[in-house]
Structures are given as C-alpha cells and as structure tokens.
Structure 1
Amino acid sequence: MFGKRIYPYLMIVPAIVIFIAFYIYPIVYMVYLSSTQWDFLSATKPFVGLQNFIDLLQDELFLQVLSNSFIYTFSTIALNMCLALLLALWMNKPGVFSGILQGTVFSPHIISMVSVAILWMWLMDPQYGLLNGILESVGLPALQWLRDSHTSLFSLILVGVWKQVGFYSLILLAGLQSIPKEIYEAADLDKTPLWRSFYKITMPMLSPTLFFLMIIGTINSFQVFETISIMTQGGPVNSTNTLVFYIYENGFKYFKIGYASAAGVVLLVIISVLTLLHFKFLEKRVHYR
C-alpha cells in the first residue's frame, strides 16, 4: 500500500530535480551574485549589499534601457493582439484558401531569428533596401531605419511583430473555432448586428485566449535579445538597448557580474509584478466556459 502511494511522487522526482537545478538554483544564485562585486575571474566575491541596485537606479543608461524595454513590450503586444485578431477573423472560414493563408501567416514564426534578422537588415538597408524603394516609389522620403535613433526601436518592433503575429493569430483562430456555433445562430435569429455579436459573444468567449497571449507576450517581449544582438547591438545611441541585452553586455562584455545580476533581479521583479497585475486586474474580465 505504501509503495502505491509513493510511486506517483517517485515518477515526478526527475522533473522536480531538473526544475530545481535549471530554474530555482540559477535564480537563487543570481540573487546572491547581485549583492556581490565579482568580475567573473576573481576567486573571491566581495559582499556589497544593495550597492549594485543603488548604482542601477542612478545610472541614466539603465533608466533609458528600462524605458526602451517597456516601449518595446507594450507596442509589440498591442500590435500583435490587434493584427492577430483581424487575421484570425479573416482565416476563420472553411476552404482551401483559409488553409493556405494559415500556413503563410504562421511561416515567419518557424523561421530562425538569425535568418529573420538578416532578412530585415537587408530590407531596411538605407541605400538598397526594399522598404526604402517602396517609400520612394510613392513619393515618400527614405528612412534610415536601424541607423536613426528616432526609427531604430520602431524598426525592431516591426520585426518582432512580423515574427510573432502568426503564432498569435493561430492561437486566436483555435479560440474562435472552439466557440459553439449555436450561440451565433441564436444571435442571428434575434437579428443581432454583427458588431454587437462580436462585442457580446466573440470577445467574452475569446477572453481566456487573449489573457493567455497577453501574459506570454509580456514575458517574451521583455526577454528580447536576438534581434538586438544581430541588428543593432543596442544602438544607435542606446536607442534599442533593452534589459536582457544590457545584462548580457555588463555580464559578458564588461565582466560586471554583480551589476548584471542586479539588473537580472530587476527584470525578474518586473516580469513577476506585471504577471501578478495581469491576474489581479484582467482575470476578472476572463469568461471561463
């Protein structure tokens, strides 16, 4: 009898060990390192308490990085949610064309980020890029895209949305197709306008899916790294420098491990607080079936 009771717990021991080794321990160790001044090479790690966090808050570059991260996150989430919802509504039709459209929309999501970054660097080239060619063909001035501090962050947001919107749209499409058809049929019998059906039926029934996408979108957007590392290196004038790239630079370029760990703790706190705020204020609007 005892063996039967303990058997399920023994089955999950490997997963728990992996979770502790690769998730819990690194977080605890990062918090410890944030209170030290270590250069990655010294044998000792002098304890400095909260000094790294004080230095962070007094660093104008860090405050700019924080601002860039929030702008990038909220912009990509807003654009992804709006565009993905429109695409999902468009694809929510039976037929071969809908299947082809789904494959086309989703294909950018499965392309490696390195390939995407190189592709968009070519498209945004100020002299030979396709985007400037299109702008000039309609009489608009060419843009510097990644080379101008006024447009560089917007350019990365554009790349992020292009890469992610296919994933968002297919998840929303699955949510749309799970809504019972009988509800819409009842609304048609009552001669309910389309906009009212969308507001009163579609959006409430999609709310769990939207809630899920908003949470994972917030977490993923705050952790953006590849596009910045490949396309801009945080420039020009730190206009595209975000938290994860800032942590990488301080930790593995300048060997300020304690300082980088403190920035990592700040990132962890921001993501945790935003996730809790999502659950506190948005979960009330989620309609669970």
Structure 2
Amino acid sequence: MNDKTLRLNHSTISARRFGLCMVLPTLIVLLVMTAYPLISTFLYSFTDYNYLKGNDSAEFVLFDNYVSLFKNSYFRQATWNTVLFTALAVVLEMAFGLLIAVFVNSLKRGQKAMRTLLLLPYLLPAVTVALSWRMLLSSNYGIVNQVLESLKLPVFNWFMDTRTAFGTILFIDVWQNTPFVFLLLYAALQSVPAGQYEAAGIDGAGFFQKFWYITIPNIKSSLALCALLRTIDTFRLFEKVNVLTGGGPAGTTSTITQFLYNFGIKSLDFGFGSAGGIIMTIFALILSSFYIKRAIQ
C-alpha cells in the first residue's frame, strides 16, 4: 500500500469521524426525547403504576391493562371515532387542498395575496381556533344560529347535539388544516414542467385530462407525504375535542387521546394510560404504513 492510498484512507476515516461528531448530538437528543419515553411507556404499560403511589408500589400485571382497554366500551367507541374522524378529515383536506392549490396555481395575478389569506387559519393555534368557533356556534349568542334563525331555518346546539357534534368538530378541523395541504401541494405544482401541459394542449387534451395524466403523476409523492403527515397529526386530535365537547355528547366525539387524558393523566393511572398510548401508536403506524408503501412504489 503506497503513501497516496494511506493518505486517502486517513482522509476517509477523518471525514467519517467528523460526520459522526456532527450527527452525535442530534442522535443523543432523539434518543432522550423519543426512544427513552417510548421504552418507558412500553414498560409502564405492563404495570399498575400510579403516580400517587410511586414506583416502589408498582407491580407487573402483564397484559391486564390491554385486556381492560379492549373490554372498555368507551375506549372502543373512542377508537372507532378516531379512525373514522382521521379517514374523513384526511380525505376532505386532501381533496379541498388539491383543488385550491390547482386553482391558485392557475391564477395569472394575485397568487401571493391568495396564499397569504389561505394560510391564515393554519397559522392560528388549535385552542384559539376552537374558542373562536365556540363563540360563532354558541347556542345562546352565536352568529351562525342567529343567521339561521333570521332565515327561518332550524338552529342547533352544535357541540352538544349528538346529530351535529361529530360533524362540527370535523368541519372545524378541515377548515384549519386544509391550508397546510394546500401549501405543500402548491409547492409541488411549481415543479411540474410547463412543457408537458403545452404538449398535451397541442394534442388536444382538456383540463381534466391534463389534471389526471400530468398533474397527479407529477405530484403523487407529495400527495403521499401530505396524506402521511395529516394522518399522523389528525390521529392525535385532542385540543378541539377537549375545549369544545370534552368527548361528549354521549361519547360521539371522544377520541383515543381524550380517553387517555381522562383515564390516564387525570386519574394518574399511568400504567393504564401507557397501554392506551402504545395501542394508539400501533394504530397510527398501521394507518401510516399504507401511505409509506404507496410513496415507495
């Protein structure tokens, strides 16, 4: 082995060490902030650990917490509500976000102004959005019911009526998060080659043909990524439900996170709550795997 080869090997080793030193702090933070809590939650899920009693009195109960969870009718309803809400919210947000992105991208003027206005709902904190809509939809002084009443239309107690509570929460969530989908897809549309549209136009392709055969194939990776991010975020819905309905009426808006808050955090039964958290994580991974598989393909 000559001197030149030795110098190259030394340079390669030095570069790898430098790269490792640069990545190591981030890896440590990730391990502390994600791996450790996840492992702790997994271990606690097999115990009857209660914060008031402390670690010393905690005993292993194996799968008792998981059995209790699946026997709990409130948890089963919360799981169904969460899955249904996630499916509906993601589909609606993706559909509206894509339509708005295509519309704004087609504008000859005013794109910057439209982008700014459309992003405003997403920039607001979830609690602020929930409180604002609670005032607008109040059964006592809400402007929505006042308008409906003036038009001789039926009014509702939007958050406490079993017929409207779930749909109202869904509407508010879609209203706030559609701009996020719009932003990602609008950015993806900027990378679609204009020449493809021009060539399709010469061949006589209409708007819908261009949309289906040019727009969708070019942004399918962005669509999958967007759906994945929205699925993960929607699956842990909590703030709006907690502020507006508390899981009611009759559990029609209860979610897994709301269940964990009521029966895990508030009661300080961290063993039971940890089991719910692990199940929630598994459900989120299963739902997300469909998008990840589609993105890889």
When normalised by structure 1's length, the TM-score is 0.94
Aligned to 1:162, the other structure's residue is in SS state helix
Compute the displacement of 1:155 (Å): 1.0
Aligned pair count reads 284
Which deviates more from structure 2 when the two are superposed, residues 226-235 or residues 176-185?
226-235
Query: Does structure 1 conserve the Cα–Cα contact (< 8 Å) formed by 2:225 and 2:295?
Result: no
Residue ranges of structure 1 left out of the alignment (5+ in a row): none
Alignment counterpart, residue 100 of structure 2, candidates 69, 84, 87: 87
Compute the displacement of 1:92 (Å): 0.8
Compute the displacement of 1:96 (Å): 4.5
Q: Distance in 2 between matches of 1:54 and 1:269?
A: 16
Deviation per CA, 1:113-144: give whole Å up to 9, x if none: 22111100011111321222333344421121
Q: Which residue of 1 aligns with 2:27?
A: 16
What letter corresponds to residue 164 of structure 1 in structure 2?
A: N
Compute the displacement of 1:230 (Å): 1.4
Q: Distance in 1 between matches of 2:182 and 2:148?
A: 28
Compute the displacement of 1:74 (Å): 0.9
Compute the displacement of 1:95 (Å): 4.6
Q: Distance in 2 between matches of 1:135 and 1:79?
A: 25
Q: Distance in 2 between matches of 1:137 and 1:178?
A: 48
Q: CA RMSD of the aligned region, Å?
A: 1.5
Alignment counterpart, residue 55 of structure 1, candidates 68, 79, 85: 68
- Equivalent positions of 1:1-289 (< 5 A) are 1=10, 2-42=13-53, 43-280=56-293, 282-283=294-295
Q: Which stretches of structure 1, 4 residues or longer, exceed 6 Å deviation after superposition?
A: none
Q: Distance in 1 between matches of 2:92 and 2:276?
A: 27
Identity rate of aligned residues, in percent?
A: 28
When normalised by structure 2's length, the TM-score is 0.91
Q: Distance in 1 between matches of 2:180 and 2:74?
A: 33
Aligned to 2:106, the other structure's residue is in SS state coil
Q: Distance in 1 between matches of 2:152 and 2:101?
A: 33
Q: Distance in 2 between matches of 1:122 and 1:268?
A: 34
Q: Which has the larger radius of gyration?
A: 2
Q: Distance in 1 between matches of 2:229 and 2:127?
A: 21
Compute the displacement of 1:168 (Å): 0.8
Q: Distance in 2 between matches of 1:51 and 1:235?
A: 27
Compute the displacement of 1:106 (Å): 0.5
Compute the displacement of 1:150 (Å): 2.1
Compute the displacement of 1:257 (Å): 1.0
Q: Distance in 2 between matches of 1:80 and 1:192?
A: 28
What letter corresponds to residue 154 of structure 1 in structure 2?
A: G
Q: Distance in 1 between matches of 2:15 and 2:101?
A: 47
